[in-house]
Chain A
Amino acid sequence: MQKKISNLPFKGTPEQEAALRRIIADNAHDKSRLMAVMQQAQDIYGYLPIEVQAIIAEGMGVPLEKVYGVSTFYAQFSLSQKGQYSISVCLGTACYVKGSGELFNRLQEILGIGADECTPDGRFSLSACRCIGACGLAPVLTVNDEVYGRLSVKDLDAILAKYN
């Protein structure tokens, strides 16, 4: 699967950019710190859109394509915006055999977005993850740091309602 690229407009603030530029200034002397800079940039913005990657490329003195190549190689980097509420459905083996695939599909229908996408209002984003170590509660999903277990598709509306 190729990484999803956000098609929502970039909404970075001057404060975020100033923070990013400080991080770059601390690391620009050593190109091998590219990944560390990218991780911190993702902490600031939640994802790494082209606007952010271009600042990193210029600041670190590497081609934009190199930054992009790194961002698509490692699973930890995201190219799509995280919502205010980031929903993550476990598709690990235990959750999957307990029906988490259906949860994932149903959430896509309800929210009108695909995997690794964000709703246009910026409220919800959806992604799949591998085992979160709560197999006893399978199938499991998380919304930000809240964990919901032993779910079926009929529970989903109630969970989403808590965040609306």
Chain B
Amino acid sequence: MDMVNLKINGIPVSVPKGSTILEAARAAGVEIPTLCYMKDINEIGACRICVVEATGARGLVTACVFPVAEGMEVQTNSQKVRNARRMTLEMILSTHEKKCLSCVRSTNCELQKLCLEYGVEETAFEGYRPHYEKDTSAPHLIRDNNKCILCRRCVAVCREQYVGVIGPNNRGIDTNIGCAFNQPLNATSCISCGQCTAVCPTGALVEKDDTDQVWAALNDRTKHVIVQTAPAVRATLGEAFGMPIGTNVEGKMVAALRRLGFERVFDTDFGADLTIVEEANELVERVKNNGTLPMITSCSPGWVKFAEYYYPELLPHLSSCKSPMQMTGAIIKTYYAEKMGWDPRDIVNVAVMPCTAKKFEIGRADQSAAGVPDMDIAITTRELSRMIARAGLRFASLPDEEFDSPLGEDTGAALIFGATGGVMEAALRTANDWISGKDCDKVDYTEVRGNASIKEALYTLGDLSIKVAVASGATAAKEVMDRIKNGTADWTFVEIMGCPGGCINGGGQPIQPQYIRDTVDVKSLRAKALYDADQASVLRKSHLSPAVTALYGHEKFFEAYGCHKAHEILHTSYTPRKKYSF
């Protein structure tokens, strides 16, 4: 590889030809501030906060896109550079609504951090300042353009997710990020993945905060307020309290939820195990009865909504299984309510999810097993972290506690649902045992692990060979669906997750600033926490979960996998959706 030698602030560094000044600086251990830059996703040099002095260049150049040259000397921290950055910050502030005191992004806002570092508080620029109405139309997020700095990170991730429903409109001072024809977000084909809220540097895009509803429920003594947490939440919640990425905080999370006042702390892992037995059974039925194949997973509400908008003609490929959250909610309001002698109407089911699309999912049709919605409130990992802070709980000092029984019991197979490939692997473990008719030794299906956007593998389960595919991120989903549509796919079973990397990288996960996302493999670190926990589990196959086997066994709640009652309670249906509203 051709290398280029240069100096960053006098530090000699050698980097591959074609590198940018920003990459060279990072190699030299020098951090240059960025706002619009996202490695590989948004490299547009638009915000101009990364300007540096470089020999051979006229004026200041944007480090994020300017290529290095042999012998170049770069100054990232001269007075001229600092003045230019201050000026840029003042100009950004001239249209920024500085309501920092109550902004949910206060203390993890990238603009606020830079203003603090550069001592910029007021702007010298007064004059016309467009005012925008907040877009609160969607169930999962709020867009407040008054806090937008036009960095276009949200636009880049939305296009990276294929849907591209937000983008820059108009020009000059009137440039704003919005939907086509200024329509509200809920009139577009937004899939609610929330990736935009995870990358916004400010508070212009935030999840819709439903914690007030949770507090109100917790204060209502006539209600049984029950919480469940998704597999991926335990792998990330610690980040919100300064813990290293990839710390598994399951025990402290359970302790915190109990201290917040939830009457039962259950685990969505239970529903994940239940999903696997129902889904594996559905797959076997489809294979036996010439049903629609490949069958595709339906755990990810972002993916399901994507399919409804973009591939309505292929909806019969989706498994009819509800998501693990909805299954857990349905079982709480049927089986568990019956067991406890509670009226399902007195139960408030709260879920803590890595996901913003779950806020949409709880309002879906055909998700009311007990005659009332299976789930009542879905909050994100971020919202839970704010509740914990408001309750004055010192998270790091909490003891490790265990989930309540029986819907807190899980297997390692359920834990890995949180990472791309996890549902597939869990399903393969169960299918292999069922087809072979014995408790097989093989539990690790490593070919479907990892962050590649599409993974394919061929497995022999008993006497059956099956081809499978795993996709994460909506662009990968599109590729897979196109192959199914044009008949070039020979898979039997496909897992699709709406977010790249799966739930561990969901739109509701703790904010990591962009320079961390650029330089650390956040997805792999988070996924490792789940795979490690799976490895350490005694039970690693969903069909061995005691809570699940009880339902079909000695509790006699269901007669069999896929029985009529199971269909009533655990399965659902999908609706084709129109992409455009006019």
Residues of B within 8 A of A163 (CB): none
Contact B179–A73 (Cβ < 8 Å):
no
Interface string of A64-95 (1 = CB under 8 A from B): 11111100110000010000000000000000
CB contact under 8 A between A67 and B180, given known A51-B582, A54-B582: yes
Q: Does A50 contact B (CB under 8 A)?
A: yes
A2-B174, A68-B169, A72-B170 are known contacts. Are A63 and B163 too (CB-CB below 8 A)? yes
Given A5-B182, A65-B180, A68-B180: A54 touches B580 (CB 8 Å cut-off): yes
A50: contacting residue among B164, B165, B167, B580, CB under 8 A: B580
Range for the number of chain B residues in contact with chain A = 20 to 34
Interface 1/0s, chain B 161-186, versus A by CB < 8 A?
00111111111001010011110000
Q: How far is the CA of A133 from the CA of B349 in the complex (A)?
A: 70
Known: A50-B180, A50-B181, A54-B580. A69 touches B159 (CB 8 A): no
* Chain A interface main SS type: helix
Measured between beta carbons, the chain B residues less than 8 angstroms from A3 are 170
CB < 8 Å neighbour of B167 from A2, A10, A51, A65: A65
Interface members, chain B 236-255 (any A CB < 8 Å): none
User: What chain A residues lie within 8 Å of B171 (beta carbons)?
Assistant: 72-73
Shortest Cβ gap from B39 to chain A (Å): 23
Among the interface residues A51, A66, A67, which one has the most CB atoms of the partner chain B within 10 A? A66
Interface pair B164/A63, CB less than 8 Å apart: yes
In the assembled complex, the CB of B151 is this many whole angstroms from the nearest CB of chain A, namely 16
If A50-B180, A53-B180, A65-B180 touch, whether A1 touches B167 (CB-CB below 8 Å) is no
User: Pick the contact of A1 from B168, B169, B174, B582 — CB < 8 Å?
Assistant: B174
Residue of B nearest to A6 (CB): B181
In this complex, the member of A1, A3, A51, A63 whose beta carbon has the largest number of chain B beta carbons within 10 angstroms is A63
Interface size range on A against B: 20 to 34
Docked pose: A76 CA to B182 CA in angstroms: 19
Q: Which residue of chain A has the shortest Cβ distance to B166 in the bound complex?
A: A65
Q: Would you list which residues of chain A between 1 and 48 have a CB under 8 Å from chain B?
A: 1-3, 5, 10
With a cutoff of 8 Å between Cβ atoms, the chain A residues found around residue B159 in the complex are 63, 66
CB distance from A34 to the nearest CB of B (A): 13
Quick check: B164 and A66 within 8 Å, CB to CB?
Answer: yes
State in angstroms the CA–CA spacing of A116 and B170 once bound together: 15
Q: What CA separation (Å) do A121 and B480 show in the bound complex?
A: 49
Tell which of A3, A65, A66, A68 has the most Cβ of chain B within 10 Å.
A65
Chain A residue, CB-CB nearest to B168: A69
Query: Which residues of chain A have C-beta atoms less than 8 A from B174's C-beta?
Result: 1-2
Q: What's the Cα separation between A67 and B180 when bound, in Å?
A: 8
Main secondary structure of the interface of B (DSSP, over half): loop
Residues 112-134 of A contacting B (Cβ, < 8 Å): none
Is there an interface contact between A2 and B165, defined as CB atoms closer than 8 Å?
no
Q: Determine the residue in chain A with the shortest Cβ distance to B180.
A: A68
Render B473-513 as a binary contact track against A, CB cut-off 8 A, 1 for contact.
00000000000000000000000000000000000000000
CA gap between A66 and B166 in the complex, in Å: 8
Residue of B nearest to A53 (CB): B180
Distance in angstroms between the alpha carbons of A63 and B180 in the assembled complex: 9
Using Cβ atoms and an 8 Å threshold, which residues of chain A touch B166? 65
With known contacts A50-B580, A51-B582, A54-B582, A65–B170 Cβ distance under 8 A: no
Assembled-state Cα–Cα distance A88/B171 (Å) = 22
Which residue of A10, A72, A73, A79 has the most chain B CB atoms within 10 A of its CB atom?
Answer: A72
Within B385-421, which residues are at the interface with A (CB < 8 Å)?
A: none
Known: A50-B580, A50-B582, A63-B159. A69 touches B169 (CB 8 A): yes
Do B165 and A65 have beta carbons less than 8 Å apart?
yes
Whole-angstrom CA separation of A109 from B579 in the bound complex: 39
| B580 contacts A2, C-beta separation under 8 Å | no
CA A75 – CA B75 in complex, angstroms?
Answer: 40
Contact B169 A63, beta carbon cutoff 8 Å: no
Of chain A, the residue at the smallest CB distance from B178 is A65
Residue-wise, chain B 128-171 has the 8 Å CB interface mask toward A (1 for contact) of 00000000000000000000000000000001000111111111
A5, A10, A53, A68, most chain B CB atoms within 10 A: A68
Residues of B within 8 A of A5 (CB): 181-182
Q: Report the Cα distance A5→B180, complex, angstroms.
A: 11
- Chain A residues, CB < 8 A from B163: 63
A89 to chain B, nearest CB (A): 22
Chain B residues with CB below 8 A from A72, complex form: 169-171
Q: How far is the CA of A53 from the CA of B176 in the complex (A)?
A: 19
CB-based nearest A residue for B162: A63
Query: Within the assembled complex, what's the spacing in Å between the Cα atoms of A59 and B176?
Result: 26
The residue on A at minimum CB distance from B181 is: A50
In the complex, the answer to whether B167 meets A66 with C-beta atoms within 8 Å is yes
Cα–Cα, bound, A66→B181 (Å): 11
Q: B481 CB to closest chain A CB, in angstroms?
A: 14
How far is B174's CA from A54's CA once the two chains are assembled, in angstroms?
24
* Residues of chain B with a CB closer than 8 A to A63's CB: 159, 163-165, 167, 180
What's the minimum C-beta distance from A72 to chain B, rounded to whole angstroms?
Answer: 5
Separation of A66 and B180 alpha carbons in the complex (Å) = 8
Contacts of B168 in A (CB 8 A): 69, 73
Provide the residues of chain B in CB contact with A62, threshold 8 Å.
Answer: 164
Q: 4 nearest interchain CB pairs?
A: A63-B164, A68-B180, A65-B167, A65-B180
Given contacts A50-B580, A63-B163, A64-B188, 8 further A-B contacts (CB under 8 A): A3-B170, A53-B181, A62-B164, A64-B180, A64-B580, A66-B164, A73-B169, A73-B170
Can you list 15 A-B pairs with a CB-CB distance of less than 8 A? A1-B174, A50-B180, A50-B582, A53-B181, A54-B580, A63-B163, A63-B165, A63-B167, A65-B167, A65-B169, A66-B167, A67-B180, A68-B169, A72-B169, A72-B171
Q: Show the binding face of B for A, using Cβ within 8 Å.
A: 159, 163-171, 174, 176, 179-182, 188, 579-580, 582
